[in-house]
């Protein structure tokens, strides 16, 4: 059966995917071709966010949950290009991501990267393992990029995010991108129905308001919660690219 990490790798033009992943990926693309631009926009969002956090915001520690199969511009590469001493703990629960984790453990000599094989829902396990790499008395950026829509409401992702935020000190950041239920919903409905049938992970689309509530109690960084290409775009052409994900960054007071 198709799995999201490998389907996403396929959409990005990677080679770490199987026939079932390509079949699901193509079925969704056929129904909604803008998915391809959307996943590229998501990687570009991740890069801009990490560049902002390591640069302007002065963050040196990253907890990247839902890492994905390594591709170009992974979090540690972007962060360490700005601040070579950056420390990154990656977390994913897919065995294929674990198999490729070596590509994430390529920290520069001044920084550190670690990989934790764990489920987003097991916060205590994640925090305990990450504390070997990250100093939780210093600010940490919690990166939840394109993972929360893979967590259904039954697992109470809002409570999990709250627990993560509680574990980091003031001056820390939360970055999220999330598949929307309210950007071009009719045009995307068939693609999501096909993925629901063909892919192991079921996606839970959320409205802008539901995504905003993950940031409750935090100070949103400008421009707030927007379509991801509109978050501090490098140029106005990029800002117009199609994407059905909401994205934002916020700071803990
Ligand atoms: C769409 S990919 C996003 C990868 C990367 N963050 C990005 O935005 O380019 C989602 C990743 O989340 C991981 N994931 C899904 N559910 C998870 C869970 N419950 N715990 C940990 N990782 C999970 C998947 O294995 C996959 O690698």
Q: What is the pLDDT of residues 76-121, one digit of tens each?
A: 999 999 999 999 999 999 999 999 999 999 999 999 999 999 999 9
Task: Confirm if 139 and 171 have CB atoms less than 8 A apart.
Answer: yes
pLDDT of residue 247: 98
CA atoms of 32 and 36, how far apart (whole Å): 9
pLDDT of residue 234: 95
Q: Is 204 in the pocket of ligand 1 (CB under 6 A)?
A: no
What global pTM score does this model have? 0.98
Distance of CA 152 to the CA centre of its chain: 16
Q: Which of ligand 1's atoms lies nearest the C-alpha of 121?
A: 19
Coil vs helix vs strand at 84: coil
The ligand 1 atom nearest the CA atom of 94 = 25
150 lines ligand 1 (CB under 6 A): yes
Does ligand 1 have an atom closer than 6 angstroms to the CB of 4? yes
């Amino acid at each position: 059966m198709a799995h999201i990490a490998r389907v996403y790798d396929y959409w990005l033009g990677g080679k770490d995917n199987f026939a079932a992943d390509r079949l699901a990926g193509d079925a969704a693309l056929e129904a909604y071709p803008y998915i391809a631009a959307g996943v590229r926009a998501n990687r570009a969002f991740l890069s801009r966010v990490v560049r902002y956090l390591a640069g302007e915001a002065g963050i040196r520690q990253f907890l990247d949950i839902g890492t994905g199969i390594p591709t170009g511009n992974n979090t540690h590469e972007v962060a360490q290009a700005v601040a070579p001493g950056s420390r990154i703990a990656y977390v994913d629960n897919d065995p294929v991501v674990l198999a490729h984790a070596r590509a994430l453990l390529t920290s520069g000599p001044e920084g550190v990267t670690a990989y934790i094989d764990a489920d987003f829902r097991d916060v205590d396990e994640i925090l305990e393992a990450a504390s070997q790499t990250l100093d939780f008395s210093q600010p940490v950026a919690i990166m939840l990029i394109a993972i929360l829509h893979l967590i259904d409401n039954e697992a109470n992702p809002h409570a999990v995010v709250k627990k993560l935020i509680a574990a980091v000190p003031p001056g820390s950041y939360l970055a999220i991108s999330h598949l929307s239920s309210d950007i071009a919903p009719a045009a995307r409905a068939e693609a999501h129905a096909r993925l629901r049938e063909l892919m192991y992970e079921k996606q839970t689309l959320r409205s802008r308001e539901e995504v905003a509530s993950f940031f409750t109690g935090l100070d949103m960084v400008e421009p707030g919660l927007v379509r991801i290409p509109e978050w501090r775009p490098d140029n106005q052409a990029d800002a117009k690219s199609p994407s059905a994900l909401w994205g934002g960054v916020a700071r803990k007071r």
